[in-house]
Amino acid sequence: MQQQTNPSFEIAQNKWEQLSDRELLEAYKICGSYSKEVKFAIIEAYNRRLAHIEEYNRRLAHGDTSINQKLQLVGTIGSAILLVGVFAPLVSAPIAGSINYIQNGKGDGTIILLLAVLSFILTLQKKYIGLWVTGIGSLAVTLFTFINLQIRMSEINHKLEGKMFAGLANVQFQWGWALLILGAVLLIYCAEISKKQHYL
């Protein structure tokens, strides 16, 4: 005889399973204060989530190709793109020519370079959650430099406006910015995939 499931229980269970890991964990801690039906729905949803996490960790520990290779690929590509972006041209000026981020070790690109290397090491060690720090850090430094450069260019253009050498302030942005942002976003994306898969 086929067992019938209470429709209200299925609705309650689906509701709790839609919560984030942290929200579900908090609900599980205080589920004793809810009604019997809600309590069972929370426990069932929590057990399902926990089983999924344990299965993920088991597969990841044994080098599961469908998960680990994806994380390794995204993390490695993100680190590589970020590394290339450090040496790629960011701006070009009439006299100075193309200028990259690292400027022979004098620019903020040194920080990005270190973060790119650290990201690659974290990826090799499968410590993907650490890519949150390197990814957000790289993006923050890049945006800070970009905004600061915009302010400085505006000030220079204002000072040279209408003067003979105004053309010397004609600075153009280059494709290196796209690499820096793309690399940082990929690292953050890799960390987010890892977080969703095995953190409760």
Q: Which residue has the higher pLDDT, 96 or 108?
A: 108
For residues 169 and 96, membership in a common domain is answered with yes
For residues 85 and 54, membership in a common domain is answered with no
Residue 1 forms part of a structural domain: no
The pLDDT, as a whole number, for residue 4 is 42
For residues 55 and 72, membership in a common domain is answered with no
For residues 119 and 40, membership in a common domain is answered with no
Average pLDDT across the chain, whole number: 77
Domain that holds residue 166: 68-198
The pLDDT, as a whole number, for residue 40 is 73
For residues 113 and 177, membership in a common domain is answered with yes
For residues 111 and 35, membership in a common domain is answered with no
pLDDT of 84 higher than 80: yes
Residue 2 forms part of a structural domain: no
Domain count across the chain: 2
Q: Is residue 49 very low, low, confident or very high in pLDDT (cuts 50, 70, 90)?
A: confident
For residues 100 and 182, membership in a common domain is answered with yes
The mean per-residue pLDDT over the stretch 119-135 comes to: 93
Residue 155: Cβ within 10 Å count: 11
Q: Is residue 181 very low, low, confident or very high in pLDDT (cuts 50, 70, 90)?
A: very high
Among the residue ranges 17-21, 42-46, 88-92, 121-125, the one predicted with the least confidence is 17-21
The mean per-residue pLDDT over the stretch 68-75 comes to: 88
Collapsing DSSP states into helix, strand and coil, what is residue 1? coil
For residues 45 and 136, membership in a common domain is answered with no
For residues 142 and 184, membership in a common domain is answered with yes
Residues of the chain with pLDDT > 70, as a percent, come to: 62
For residues 129 and 51, membership in a common domain is answered with no
The pLDDT, as a whole number, for residue 25 is 66
Residues 101/112, Cβ–Cβ less than 8 Å: yes
Angstrom distance (rounded) from CA 153 to CA 166:
12
The mean per-residue pLDDT over the stretch 83-100 comes to: 82
Residue 77 forms part of a structural domain: yes
Residue 108 forms part of a structural domain: yes
Where does the chain show beta strands of DSSP type E? 89-93, 97-100, 172-173
pLDDT of 89 higher than 50: yes
CATH code for position 103: 1.20.140
The pLDDT, as a whole number, for residue 157 is 65
Collapsing DSSP states into helix, strand and coil, what is residue 125? coil
Residue 95 forms part of a structural domain: yes
The pLDDT, as a whole number, for residue 199 is 40
* Of 174, 194, 179, 171, nearest in space to 125 by CA: 194
Residues 70/150, Cβ–Cβ less than 8 Å: no
For residues 131 and 80, membership in a common domain is answered with yes
Distance of CA 153 to the CA centre of its chain: 30
The pLDDT, as a whole number, for residue 168 is 55
Whole-number Cα distances in Å, 153 to 89, 140, 165, 166 = 17, 20, 14, 12
